[in-house]
Amino acid sequence: MKANLITKITLCGLLLNGIYANAQQTTLEVNTSKTITKIQPTMYGIFFEDINFAADGGLYAEMVKNRSFEFDDPLMGWIQPKSDKHNFNTESGIAVPVQFSKKGNNHNYCRVTVKDAKGYEIINEGFRGMGIKSGAKYNLTLKASKEAGNISKIIIQFIGKDNKVLGETSIVPTASGWNEYTAQLTPTATEAKAKLRFTFEGTGTIDLDMISLFPEDTWNNRKNGLRKDLVQLLYDMKPGFLRFPGGCIVEGRTLAQRYQWKKTVGEVDNRESLVNRWNTEFAHKPTPDYFQSFGLGFFEYFQLSEDIGATPLPILSCGMACQFNTGELVPMDQLDPYVQDAIDLIEFANGSVDTPWGKVRSDMGHPKPFNLKFIGVGNEQWGTDYIERYKVFEKAIKSKHPEITIVSGSGPFPEGDYFEYAQSELKKLNAEIIDEHYYKEPKWFRENATRYDNYDRKGPKIFAGEYAAQTVAIASPDNKNSWECAFSEAAFMTGMERNAEVVHLTSYAPLFAHEEGWQWTPDMIWFNNLESFGTPNYYVQKLFANNKGTDLLSITKDGKAVTGQNDLFASAVKDANTKEVIVKVVNTSAKAQDITVDLKGSKFQSKGTVITLTSPNTNDENSFASPKKISPKESEYILKSEKASLSVPAYSVTVLKLKLK
C-alpha cells in the first residue's frame, strides 16, 4: 500500500512537472509588416583560400603533381623505382631536369634517357595518389621532343596496389622539336591511390614537359576544369559572393612570394609556378610538396563566381608581406606597381575588349565583362603601415573607378589595440566596408550574438570575412568540426542577420581541406581523391544562405531581441521573391523547448515548411563514413492559427518558412 502511494505521488509529481514545463513556453513576436532594412544579396558567401590543398590537388582537377617540373626540387612527385642516379643505369635509364631558360615562366623540362626499355619507368604519384573511377574517362596531354635514338612509343598506365595495371594508353612521338600529344585513359577499377606510370618502347633520349591529366567529367564539362563534386557543394549553397584567392597567400611569407594575379592569367602553360605560403608554416603538418601551378587563376575564379551566381570579391596585396612571417614592406615610394595591379584588375574584369586587359580576358574566352563591384586592399594587415598604404590605394582606385566598393581590413583579431586603431582610422577615412576576422571558442560565438547591436548604422559596413569556432585553439591540429561549433556559429549568425543594416557580407573560413593534405582545421568541406562531404558548419552556412530573404523583420521576446534568453537565438526575414516569412531559431540548450511564434501583421497559408538541423551530442561530426550524420531534415508544417507552435530540439537550428497569402 505504501509502495503504491509513493508511486502515485511520484506520478503526480511528474505530471505536475510536465504541466509546469509545458507552461514555460517561450513566445517570440514577429512583426511581418515592417521592413527594418534590406538584406544584402552578398550577406552569405564563400571565402576561398589555397590552403589544405584546396586548389592544386583539390578544386583544380589536375591529377599530375609538378606537371611542368617547376617545383624547387624539379622532380618532386616523380619516382624512378628502377634507377639510381649514382650509376649509369645500363639496365634501365634515368630522368634529369634541364633548365632551358631563366626567363619567362616555364623554366624546366625533363630529359629522359632510356638505355633498356624493359627496365625503365617513371611514375607520377599525384596529390597523395590519384582518384580514378572505373569506366570514367581521363584526358592526358604532354609535350615531347625526340632528341636522340629511337623511342617509338610512350606507354601510359594507371597503376594501383602492387603495380597492378588499371588502365592503359599510349602515344607515338613523331619528331624532334616540341610537339603536343593527347591520349585518353579509361580505368578498369576505382582506386583512390592510383599512380601514373610511363614506360617506353625503344631506346634513346626524349624531352618531356607539361604532362597533364584531367577527368573528362569536370564542372560544366570544361576542358581541364574544376572538380565537379566540390563545385556542386558550393553551387548548392547559393552564395552571394566568392572571395579569392585567399588570405595569407595574398600577402606571401615574403613580398617575392605574394600572389600576383597577372601571373595567373593567359595560357596555362605560361603561368609561373610558386611555392605555396602554407608549404612550411606548421611543424605539425609540413607539406614540402605544396606549390601553386596557378592553373586555377584569376580568370577561373571570376568564371567560377559567375557559374555559381556569386559576386566576385578579389583581394590584392597592399605591399605588406604576412605580418605573422617577415612583415616585409614595400617602401611608399615603390608602391605604384601594387596600386597599378588593382587598377589593371578592374580593367581585366570590367574593361571593354578594346582595352589591354579587357582584351586578355576576351582572348581567354570571355568577351563580356565579369561585372566586378568589390575589390579588397590587403588581407588582415594591421598597424600604421597598413593605414598609410590603404590611403594610397583608396585615392587611386576611387579617382578612376568611383563605382568600385573597396574592402579594407581591421587585422586578424576581433579586439585589441590594433583592431581598435584600424576601426577608428578607417572610420575617419569613411571606409566603405571593413573586414573583421574571428577564430574563437564556441562559447565566444554564443556570447557575442549582440556584437553588432551597437555599431554605428552610419559608419562603415562590416564584412565578417573569416570566422570559425575552434574546439581547441587557433591553428591547433586537434580542432574538430563539431556540432557545438556549428550551432554556436548559427547563434552568432542570427546576430549578424539581425544587424543586416551594418553587416553586409559574411563567410566561414577556411573552405576546403584534403583528408591527407591539410594544414589547418576546422574547415567547411572535407575531401579526398574520390569523395567529399559537408561538415555541420557547411549545413549551417547553407541553411542561412538558402534562406537569407530580402527584408529584415523584427523578432523579439518580451520586447527584446532574442540573443540567448533561455539559450535561444533567433532572427526573422521576409523573402519578397518567394513571398515567404522565414524564422530561424537556434536552441543551444541541452533540452528541447516549446516555442510559439506570434506572427503579427500578415496572413499566411496553412502549409509551410520546417527544416531542422540537430544532433544529440555536441561533439558529433560528419565524416567520410557518415557524411550526412548531421544534415538538414525538411518536413511540412501546418499552421493552425496566427501563432505557430514549434518544439525545437536540444542543440538545434530550426528554420520555419511560411507562405504569405
Query: Annotated catalytic sites, by residue?
Result: 380
- Ramachandran category for residue 449: left, alpha or beta (phi over 0 → left; psi -120 to 50 → alpha): alpha
189 by DSSP, 3-state: which? Answer: coil
Nearby residues of 156 by Cβ (< 8 Å), 6 or more positions away: 140, 168, 169, 170, 171, 183, 185, 196, 197, 198
Task: Report yes or no: 533 and 622 within 8 Å, Cβ to Cβ.
Answer: yes
Residue 306 cell numbers, joined: 559567375
d(CA 557, CA 549): 21
> Smallest Cα–Cα separation from 541: which of 653, 380, 651?
653
Residue 410 cell numbers, joined: 581591421
d(CA 607, CA 626): 32
Backbone angles phi, psi at 59, to 5 degrees: -60, -40
The DSSP call for residue 436 is E
CA distance readout (Å), 208 to 103, 111, 443, 644: 19, 6, 55, 68
Instruction: Count Cβ atoms below 10 Å from residue 649 Cβ, excluding itself.
Output: 17
Nearby residues of 3 by Cβ (< 8 Å), 6 or more positions away: none
The DSSP call for residue 40 is P
d(CA 165, CA 120): 16
Task: Report yes or no: 655 and 543 within 8 Å, Cβ to Cβ.
Answer: yes
Which run of H or of E encompasses 574? strand 568-575
d(CA 594, CA 556): 16
d(CA 97, CA 114): 15
- Residue 337, classified by CB atoms within 10 Å of its CB into exposed (0-12), middle (13-18) or buried (19+), is exposed
- Residue 10, classified by CB atoms within 10 Å of its CB into exposed (0-12), middle (13-18) or buried (19+), is exposed
d(CA 489, CA 484): 8
The DSSP call for residue 39 is P
Going through 416-550 in order, the beta strands assigned E by DSSP cover 433-440, 461-469, 503-508, 512-514, 525-527, 532-534
d(CA 397, CA 182): 45
d(CA 500, CA 490): 15
d(CA 144, CA 205): 11
Query: Count H helices, E strands: the chain?
Result: 11, 35
Backbone angles phi, psi at 471, to 5 degrees: -75, -25
